[in-house]
Chain A
Amino acid sequence: MKILVMVKQVPDTATQIKIGGDPKSIDTTGITWIVSPYDEFALEEALRIKEKRGQGEVVVVSLGPDRVKEALRSCLAMGADRAIHLLDPAWESADTLASAQALAAVIKQEAPGLVLSGRQAIDDDMGSVGAQVAELLGWPCASWIMEEAIDDAGKAVRVGRQVEGGLEVFELPLPAVVSAQKGLNEPRYPTLKGIMGAKKKEIKDVKAADLGLAPAAPALAVLKLEALPPRPPGRILPGEPAEAAHALVRALREDAKAI
């Protein structure tokens, strides 16, 4: 079975983020880039499916500028077989929907049995691409999955979807799109052998025209990025624990009116 994993390259959580000159995007100088953590859960699951079945192919796909090759390379080092890089100036200001359209188009060409992604990318936190790709392909989808099991025939997948108050286990006919929630698995680290091997694996560049896509205006446009409004300075309540606890409860009632 061919499994396709959609990944996104994002700034590391600990990286300092500054607004760029335009000010619709961030200043990318000095940023450490990583594969979005939820996408690593998705890739790990794909690798486990392939290992368990003893056959198949894991293809990773990402959309973004040249630097995205690095993220794809690290997915190949983890064990993916090959990568597709959606690389085109036309996608520079791609919004969520335009990204989903590009991904859906490449998935149509690749015709995998299962598509996986993270539940959301930790840069813009939209959390929409997986479900949108499913809609554009007319496939079923399940988001925030914590469990996954494909039947032996490769015809259906059973997934546990996290919902408020519980877990719903569904059976989806394949092909389908599922998005990984934390807790699905523990992603592996690339081995030295994996890292060396990744250099020889294929990363294919794909342009919008290759997918028959014409440039389109974004459905949702970023007007500008803004710094957070400053929080009023905090107060440390001094004194012995009993005194501090009493003062805190009083402040919460009388000043903050929070209780």
Chain B
Amino acid sequence: MAAAFWCIVEDDRQGTPKKVMAEVLGEASRLAAQMNTQAEAVWLTDKATAEGLKLLGELGAKRIWLVENTSLAPYRAEVWTPIVAELAARESPQAILAPVTTRLRELMARLAARLGAGLSADSTSLALEDGKLVATRPVYAGKLLSKVAWAKAPWLATLRPNVFRPADPQAGAAAQVERPTVTMPGEAMKLVERREEASTGLPELAEAEIVVSGGRGLKGPENFVILEELAKVIGAAVGASRAAVDAGWRPHRFQIGQTGRTISPKLYLGFGISGAIQHLAGMRTSKVICAINKDPEAPIFKIADYGIVGDLFEVAPLLTAEFKKLLEK
């Protein structure tokens, strides 16, 4: 059997793999099958749960390399990198994949440097061509796509959330759990504190399947409540344009765009957003794009699948009511 496709596990820090792992394991399994090999998970955590291990198996991991140690939390690249590198040197995986999250993006970069391997960050498509992996990734504010290939294995790539088809969980499929002995690296960084964000009760922006986003057209911070009401009904995250963030209406972590988050939801609804290039860079890979704007000339209508030219203060509550009617049926 050829070497395996590894997936680095992102979890919720409570022992449960995040939703995005279904996408990474799904893609790894598809690619691995074409090379007659298998997908495997690599899980570094201070505390794994039986449910978490079961879930990884159901999502297609045939083997789980579990490294469980208290010094793995909080995540520090200087501790995690040598461990994954040590395992990779021993097991020689064909590829190492991970979802784009703040910590795994950093880990994969350090790992690539340690292994002297190429890394395709924020990939939106992976394919095998003549037995070699080719990745596609958006570049130049999403204006172009770049196709990249590796000089040698392991092929390292991070995958943009919500883009790859998730694995269908196979009930009863269990992974073989390995607990390899590794050298625990020394740590230089010390955690001082962790400040939790006040929970909005809505999904996280980066992995939400539906995103409602507001721009300058909202006229003020107090009006975001209109979008939050809509978001609650359809289970969406609420984002904002740079204009709204720079005006101080929303904290920066809600910004969508080139200097904010890159998102790729199944459904994006933009309210009072003109669609500047820098905003489009952060959401143009969304599957269905809707725009509600007073200005019929707003550039966002050029990439929108559906548009309403109108006053968002009128349209948004109407949409909330319509969605409510539909979803309560």
Contact = CB atoms under 8 A, between A and B. Distances in A.
> Is chain B a partner of chain A in the same complex?
yes
Interface of A: 11, 13-14, 17, 19, 26, 37-38, 95-97, 100, 122-136, 140-144, 146, 158, 160-173, 176, 181-183, 217-228, 231-232, 234-237, 241-242, 244-246, 248-249, 251-253, 256, 258-259
A161 to B, nearest CB: 8
15 contacts: A14-B277, A126-B119, A131-B77, A133-B113, A165-B196, A168-B195, A169-B194, A172-B189, A219-B112, A223-B147, A225-B146, A227-B144, A234-B302, A259-B210, A259-B326
A248 B106 contact: no
B134 A231 contact: no
Contacts, number: 264
Nearest to A242: B318
Contact of B147 (A143, A222, A258): A222
Contact of B138 (A125, A129, A170): A125
Contacts of A249: 319, 322-323, 326
Contact of A127 (B105, B134, B145, B193): B105
Instruction: Provide the main secondary structure of the chain B interface.
Output: mixed
A225 B145 contact: yes
A169 B278 CA distance: 29
Contacts of B328: none
Given A182-B252, A231-B305, A234-B304, A244 B315 contact: yes
| Residue among A37, A123, A183, A235 with max Cβ neighbours from chain B (10 Å) | A183
Interface of B: 74, 76-78, 81, 101-103, 105-114, 116-122, 134, 136-152, 188-197, 204, 206, 210, 234, 252-253, 255, 258-260, 266-267, 277-278, 281, 284, 287-290, 296, 301-311, 314-315, 318-319, 321-323, 326-327
Contacts of A164: 101-102, 204, 206
Nearest to A19: B144
A95 B135 CA distance: 15
Contacts of A168: 74, 191, 193-195
